[in-house]
Amino acid sequence: MLAKYSSVTAPDNFLFSVGFAAHDLSFWHALLELSKIRSREDAPTLSSTEHVIPPQTTICHPTDWHDSVPVICSGWAMSSVPMASGRQQTISFLLPGEIASTALMFGPTAGRLVQSITDVTYRAFNRSEIKAAMSKHPELLEKFSRVWIAEKLDTDQLCVDLGRRTGDERLARLILKLTKKLANRGMVRGQAFEFPLRQHQIADATGLTLVHINRVLVSFRRKGLIELDGRMLTILNADELYRIANLT
Partner DNA sequence: CGGCGACTTGAAACGTGTCAATTAGCGTGG
Partner DNA sequence: CCACGCTAATTGACACGTTTCAAGTCGCCG
Residue numbers of the site for DNA (CB under 7 A)? 166-168, 198-200, 207-212, 214-215, 217-218, 230
Q: What's the rounded Cα separation, in Å, for the pair 158 and 139?
A: 29
Closest CB 184 distance from a copy of itself, rounded Å: 20
Closest CB 92 distance from a copy of itself, rounded Å: 10
Closest CB 153 distance from a copy of itself, rounded Å: 5
* Residues 65 and 73: beta-carbon distance below 8 Å: no
Q: Is 225 in the site for a copy of itself (CB under 8 A)?
A: no
**The binder of a copy of itself chosen from 163, 190, 211, 229 (CB under 8 A):** 163
19 binds, among DNA, a copy of itself, none (CB under 5 to 8 A by kind): none
Q: Which residue, among 197, 192, 173, has the nearest Cα to 182 in the 3D structure? A: 192
Closest CB 2 distance from a copy of itself, rounded Å: 30
Q: Which residue, among 247, 228, 208, 197, has the nearest Cα to 94 in the 3D structure? A: 197
* Residues 231 and 194: beta-carbon distance below 8 Å: yes
232 binds, among a copy of itself, DNA, none (CB under 5 to 8 A by kind): none
Q: Is 142 in a helix, a strand, or coil?
A: helix
Q: Give first-to-last CA distance, the chain, whole Å.
A: 43
**The binder of a copy of itself chosen from 52, 61, 207, 237 (CB under 8 A):** 207
21 binds, among DNA, a copy of itself, none (CB under 5 to 8 A by kind): none
Q: Is 67 in the site for a copy of itself (CB under 8 A)?
A: no
214 binds, among DNA, a copy of itself, none (CB under 5 to 8 A by kind): DNA
Closest CB 229 distance from DNA, rounded Å: 9
Q: Which residue, among 23, 13, 19, 111, has the nearest Cα to 71 in the 3D structure? A: 13
Measured CA distances, 131 to 28, 36, 45, 50, 103 (Å)? 15, 17, 12, 19, 13
**The binder of a copy of itself chosen from 39, 164, 211, 229 (CB under 8 A):** 164
Burial of 125 (0-12, 13-18, 19+ CB in 10 A): buried
Chain residues that interact with a copy of itself, rule: CB under 8 A:
81, 83-84, 87, 89, 91, 102-103, 105-107, 111-112, 135, 138, 142, 145-146, 148-149, 152-153, 155-160, 162-164, 206-207, 246
